[in-house]
Amino acid sequence: MRTVTTVHDLRAAVLRARGEGRTIGLVPTMGALHAGHCSLIAAAREGTDLVVVSLFVNPAQFAPTEDLAAYPRDLAGDAAQAAAVGADLLFAPSVEEVYPPGFATTVSVTGALTETLEGAGRGRGHFDGVATVVAKLLGMAAPDRAYFGQKDAQQAAVIRRLVRDLDLGVVIEVLPTVREADGLAMSSRNAYLDGPDRTRAVALIEALRAAEAGVASGESATATVRAAATAALRARAVEPEYLAFVDPESFSPVDRIDRPTLALVAARVGPARLIDNLLLTPNGARTP
Ligand code: AMP
């Protein structure tokens, strides 16, 4: 595996591969790689010929109050992990390489999809930052396929929308959330959790599974399912920033769970802001 830091070198490698008739897979990450990222890299290895992993902590998607400076960074460790699961090229640009002086363009997906949940909690600029950097990465690497995690369900929906609306001609693959043995969704931000907070963090998946159990038992009133999930959070003294039940495509809230519905939760646990989600499928409903 080779590490490149400039768009010029990335393009040269991608063009060479294309000239040889090889397909390109892109896995965008912010680094501090874990098994969730590795599952995306492995899927890219499976699905394409040249696997590019980008590693860029994108300042544009962090609000001024957020953890940009503290965000875990480990280039050497990331390079070793990416190589071990089959990446061919690690693209690790500087902030100046991605946003050179005079940079003046923002890509903005508008509407409910970006204004609610993460968009409301982290601010308008969050998804603008995501959409802009993903549009740039897709432009830089020109992949056939790009790989994202269901862990960031709203982000995946925003990216699908972006690619559709701008005719970017890349296939977006969204892969299942990889979890720790106790169910906690893997996240680079789990590094912020120490002993007691690490134990409490399991509250998010417990809440989602309580909702899932309610739906599996035939409950379809969102209010009742929400009450079960809220009780699971409270049992671990975790207060949700949001707990939402939405249509998986439009992200509009549903008041009856009588078709596949995405349950999403965000909560602060100690110093970490954590998110998770689960698709609830009522008995007899077909998955979307
Ligand atoms: P990040 O480095 O957190 O920006 O994540 C990079 C990509 O990895 C995104 O598409 C995430 O959705 C995905 N990802 C993060 N955590 C997980 C996980 N636990 N399982 C699967 N994919 C994940």
Other beta carbons within 10 Å of 47: 15
- Nearest Cα neighbor of 238 from 283, 278, 282, 193 is 193
| Residue pLDDT, tens place only, 112-134 | 999 999 999 998 899 999 999 99
Helix axis angle for 125-141 and 153-165, nearest 10°, is 60
CA of 219 to the centre of ligand 1 (A): 31
Question: What is the torsional sign of CA 216, 221, 222, 226?
Answer: negative
Contacts of 174 (CB under 8 A, 6+ apart): 148, 149, 150, 156, 160
Residue type, 167: D
CA of 148 to the centre of ligand 1 (A): 6
pLDDT at 105: 98
Closest atom of ligand 1 relative to the 177 alpha carbon: 20
| Residue pLDDT, tens place only, 10-28 | 999 999 999 999 999 999 9
Distance CA 266, CA 250 (A): 19
pLDDT at 288: 59
Q: Quick one: average pLDDT of 142-151? A: 98
| Residue pLDDT, tens place only, 49-87 | 999 999 999 999 999 999 999 999 999 999 999 999 999
Confidence of residue 175 (pLDDT cuts 50, 70, 90): very high
Enclosing H/E stretch for 126? helix 125-141
Here the tokens at position 270 are 């100690």
Q: Token match 């965008």: residue?
A: 28
Contacts of 118 (CB under 8 A, 6+ apart): 126, 127, 154, 155, 266, 275
| Beta-strand runs (E) in 58-152 | 89-91, 145-149
As a whole-number percent, the residues of the chain with pLDDT over 90 amount to 97
pLDDT at 286: 64
175: alpha, beta or left, given left = phi > 0 and alpha = psi -120 to 50?
beta
Closest atom of ligand 1 relative to the 148 alpha carbon: 10
Q: Are 6 and 97 in contact (CB under 8 A)?
A: yes
pLDDT at 285: 72
DSSP string computed for 95-117 = HHHHS-TT--------SHHHHST
Enclosing H/E stretch for 211? helix 203-216
Length of the chain as a residue count: 288
- Nearest Cα neighbor of 204 from 239, 153, 175 is 239
| Beta-strand runs (E) in 71-228 | 89-91, 145-149, 171-175
- Nearest Cα neighbor of 153 from 288, 242, 60, 276 is 276
Radius of gyration of the chain measured on its C-alpha atoms: 19
Residue 287, pLDDT > 80, answer: no
Closest atom of ligand 1 relative to the 155 alpha carbon: 12
pLDDT at 124: 82
| Residue pLDDT, tens place only, 226-280 | 999 999 999 999 999 999 999 999 999 999 999 999 999 999 999 999 999 999 9
Q: Return the residue whose CA atom lies nearest to atom 22 of ligand 1.
A: 149
Q: Which residues line ligand 1 (CB under 6 A)?
A: 29-30, 36-37, 39-40, 148-149, 151-152, 175, 177-178, 185-188
Contacts of 67 (CB under 8 A, 6+ apart): 189, 192
Residue 211, pLDDT > 90, answer: yes
37 is catalytic: yes
Contacts of 227 (CB under 8 A, 6+ apart): none
